[in-house]
A and B are shown apart, each in its own frame.
Chain A
Amino acid sequence: GAGVSQSPSNKVTEKGKDVELRCDPISGHTALYWYRQRLGQGLEFLIYFQGNSAPDKSGLPSDRFSAERTGESVSTLTIQRTQQEDSAVYLCASSLMGQGGNEQFFGPGTRLTVL
């Protein structure tokens, strides 16, 4: 089947506006992850969903950031009152549940630019 998809691929917004980013994981993948990649930098973990367990929100940088996931399908990452420092590529990944040796499959990312 298809890989992880994300939309939109690009988003330009004005400072102070809210944005919503979407991730469609691979069917059957119960684990879903959001990362942020600033220009020229590595991946910064944001939030992690595993099945029906409470999400791990420990990586969210502020209370302006939130994410939801409906069952084991689509996830949305919402950034309220965007700031210029939020400009980055937001990457979503999914994986099978297991002992921890399963690799994460990444989507192409959403490039967010806050003017």
Chain B
Amino acid sequence: AQSVAQPEDQVNVAEGNPLTVKCTYSVSGNPYLFWYVQYPNRGLQFLLKYITGDNLVKGSYGFEAEFNKSQTSFHLKKPSALVSDSALYFCAVRDMLQGNTPLVFGKGTRLSVIA
């Protein structure tokens, strides 16, 4: 079975400070990993994904994430947070052996960036 854990319901950071949103996963085989962001009353927007290759993945809006196989983690990071980054962030996983099956999502982490 596949699963994703986002251990923090809420993360608060000051504008200009680095931010980290944590994600750990569980799959039988090797994972494809994704981050999405959801702004109020909007659908989910794709931020970045890890498929293979470099463990550090760069995505939209200055976000990046690092795949760590030994720790089964895929934490989302940004060097300098903006107030406009305040939103709900979802981590998702799919087992590489499962083809195009639906992504399994974490429960989400609400990021609040304070000016």
User: Which residues in A have some Cβ–Cβ distance to B below 8 Å?
Assistant: 4, 31, 33, 35, 41-43, 45, 48, 50, 56, 59, 91, 93, 95, 97-109
Asked if B28 is at the interface of the complex by the 8 Å CB criterion, the answer is: no
Contacts of B98 in A (CB 8 A): 100
What are 23 of the A-B contact pairs (CB < 8 Å)? A4-B43, A35-B105, A42-B106, A43-B44, A43-B105, A45-B102, A50-B99, A59-B102, A91-B43, A100-B95, A100-B96, A100-B100, A101-B32, A101-B51, A101-B52, A103-B34, A104-B103, A105-B46, A106-B43, A107-B43, A108-B42, A108-B43, A109-B42
The contact of B100 among A31, A42, A109, by CB within 8 Å, is A31
Contacts of B95 in A (CB 8 A): 100
User: Which residues in B have some Cβ–Cβ distance to A below 8 Å?
Assistant: 32, 34, 36, 42-46, 49, 51-52, 90, 94-96, 98-108
Can you name the residue of chain A whose Cβ is closest to the Cβ of B52?
A101
The contact of A43 among B90, B94, B96, B100, by CB within 8 Å, is B90
Q: In the complex, A91→B103 CA distance in Å?
A: 13
Q: In the complex, A107→B42 CA distance in Å?
A: 8
Most buried by A among B46, B52, B98: B46
The contact of A106 among B45, B51, B106, by CB within 8 Å, is B45
Q: Contact: B108 with A42, CB < 8 Å?
A: yes
Contacts of A93 in B (CB 8 A): 44
Q: In the complex, A104→B100 CA distance in Å?
A: 10
Q: Contact: B100 with A95, CB < 8 Å?
A: yes
Give, as a whole number of angstroms, the nearest-CB distance from A26 to chain B.
Answer: 12
